[in-house]
Chain A
Amino acid sequence: MKVWKFGDDVDTDAIIPGRFLTIYNPMELAKHAFEGTRPEFAMGVARGDVIVAGRNFGCGSSREHAPIALLGAGVQVVIAKSFARIFYRNAINTGLLPLVCAETDGIHDMSEIEVNTLKRIAVVEGKTYHLEPVPAFLKEIIEAGGLVEYAKKLEEVPLCTVSR
């Protein structure tokens, strides 16, 4: 598994440009992932590879095509210093795991990476990085396998219930 390293403020137009938004098939979308900004990604990415980025990953448009394109490319985990709000939700909902890690600066492009989601650690070149826990209320959705699966099991929506 290798690292695809990105900087701060990676926007969803970069992940999947607007002209491909009539496509909904994950594999087809994956062919155009990062087409304008990092053209070697679509050809070079392998199943299980991990995207590692700086701050504000996934800012901009609400297009769910972005996490879907990454999933189609075989990426299941994105590690970043922080995520833009809509992308974060979209990722959880579609089954792409967005994990926050404060020290992604030390992780380099094309390094070998091992992610253990249970222990919430990533090991890169012998060094261990700690990943922050996902908020409790989102765990249920992740454990169900995304919002669609979660919704299927829901007889009735628990309206106005409050949690932390």
Chain B
Amino acid sequence: MPVIPKINKITNIKSPSYKYKVLSNNVPIYIIHDDTLPIVKLEVIFSGGRVSEKKRSTSRITAGMMNESTQSTSAKKIDETIDFYGGRMGISSNMDTMTASLFCLKKHFKSLISLFGEIISQPKFDSKELQTYIKNQKQRLQLSLEENDIIAYREMTANVFGKKHVYGYNSTFEDYDAIESKDLQSYFQNNFVKENCFVVASGNIGDDEFKLIDSVLCDTLLSDANFQKPIYSPVNFIQPEEIFIEKKNSVQTAIRIGLKTFTKTHSDYPAFYFLNTVLGGYFGARLMQNIREQKGYTYNVFSSLNTMIYDGFFSIGCEVGNEHKNATIKEIFFEIDKLKAELVSEQEMELVQNFLMGEILKWTDGVYHSADMIKHLVIQEQPISYFETFVEDLQKVSAKDLQGMAQKYFKKGAFHTVIVGK
């Protein structure tokens, strides 16, 4: 038996490298170039997302409908063209942003980018297509409302941020019915403008590709000289409570336990991020070791920390056999209380530290990961150097800091609890 290998510390973490330029129409572009593979990825990120909605669900439906017909090309022709060139193209929506993306082989970039320009500048919002789209979305919603974990997640965000808040509301059948083409048109005109976006281009971006991006985005992106950022209304305090939704036919019950936190810019963010990892952020985390690996109550239990531009939330989730429901909740609070009462051992601190460094090294491994990282930092209005600051901050987190975080945030009565099942 050879000697057990020594483990090397990860020390070479660096911010992702990129080139910053400005297109001829003044839109910022981040270029992450690598010519290993003949692939090109282009993303145009528009701020706003749900935050700039005047009517619920318009951001999501606008994104969905921008993948349909444009004023000059039918959806059928668009889908066929994208597939013919083996590309991936579309608009997606998020809490804070809308992203238009194109991913294709370098040799087909020229053939697809003009269509990309058309999609982001001339959507049709055809009312017949909208009707079909809404009908489908409603049936998909009905499908997802049969899943306990989805119901639990929806209830959790509604309770943490408020049922009417942009980060808290859940799409309903009524929301879908209330949407008209003119809502989408107005959301589009207010948000899909050059004053409200930036570009990330990654992969094999040579001079030709850059010129194409510049010319197509200058020709197509609309402009609004009076563009103003949407005003975000902060969350009102909501008294946490325990909610039980009965589903008689369930063999498993979904559990969500969570609370409102903060954005990435908050001074507690690095320590809380570390704390989340210790509790439920990786396979070796305490919740997983206790509830799955020692008790066998569940296939998977985790905790996660979600941050948006203006706020954030932390939650623990799992699906367990109905008979283990109460025992699982007890164990979750046992682990929470332990973090408040006892210092994390030196050994565990070091292990989580090492695990996190591996994770973070992955965030910038390869052009596409680097591009994602840069995209997230720009969305969060952080300098790219935030990345290195974050790594340094994580390395400074002590066991005492973690206990402090747990005591500060994991107070008795601070958690919203949602239970869906039997």
Are A and B interaction partners?
A: no
Q: What residues make up the interface of A, taking CB atoms closer than 8 Å to B?
A: none
Q: What residues make up the interface of B, taking CB atoms closer than 8 Å to A?
A: none
